[in-house]
Structure 1
């Protein structure tokens, strides 16, 4: 249940999308600098037509095939954001275009089913691969097992938020912890499937459940009382750093993510 005067995830997404739709001039500069255009096979399509189709996909879920291909091939480089002279975040519009496509292609029940399936598949992979490589003590160090629900006696300098997938290659995260230990900073590690950012649900077109998952994780991150979160996972970082997501997450559990 949403507390009074709080902004829901879906509402924040919708409001920000409207702002971006109004601001976009369809100049096509975002398309011209995008590294995904070539691999998507749409280099010969006019850039203005591609971004114009993206706006239609955001509004209705229907648009030109070239625009659908661009939205689906986005690698989230962020080059498009730097290219825009009008304060538009094309990467966010591509996310909303994918959401529009998913809503157009399937009813909510099917989108929700797909979201649950994506989450379970991802969770199973992370759990199995991390436990094959690590014993309980090391898993605890990475914020898993009982450490995922424990609270520090004193507020750490920051939360080290691993996301999920780095736990499949845990030596990377463990090296980061070793570096922070050498620097003498304090931290609390959180992450794994129990701290999902909601991206699996959003990709499936279930924005409501994505908001619930993200809200739950933001609440957990706030329990450290550090006020700062360093995110390892680029997907989680992009998910929470969308202007609409920041507007929503500030109402859930204010924290600075970097």
Structure 2
């Protein structure tokens, strides 16, 4: 009789269990397939030794919605490395859950002044000075021998022709003649009172004109002076003063192509890259 009663109880309870299951609760939430109630205990997820985010192992294949606690940390640090913690599967890869879901190579601006919790200041230092894990991850995301130096720079996206992490550009410009406004300037001196200008006097010496006659035996040649020297000697003289007048002048600007700092106003912050702990 007891066996029959037990069978009947299980039979009648089955439809109710198929709808939703409650553990330590007689009234499981109707929206939950499983409702576990406890005021003293927690829930332990399955624990799996994952190998890489792109590898479903130890599962046969990726399953969307699968959740587990990973118990291993990859020996080789790569972009697909796994670390101990909760992971979920989106059908193509494992993704770490919680505050540690940072991706290697993430960039952030911060008022922090030093490396912290896997974030490393982009200050141009050699990556050999970083922890071993950070060195592996720096190489994995394409950083060369040195971290980029983000001091006084603005980070932009890659336009397809630049190398990741390259630093280029200038924070100053030089104004050329083409940059000047299209304005004509003219300038004259102030009038400087009566003054003179110098000049050099020139003159011709005496000239002799020879005249031939038709009486050759008598007067073969007659000489006649037709010009004399000027009365004034050939010296430097000055002109008469010409009254008050002005002169045009060329005035150099005195410029020397000093660059103009074109850095816009900004808030000071440091740039960090996440390379893991």
Q: TM-score, normalised by structure 2?
A: 0.19
Greater strand fraction, Structure 1 or Structure 2: 2
Q: TM-score, normalised by structure 1?
A: 0.20
Greater helix fraction, Structure 1 or Structure 2: 1
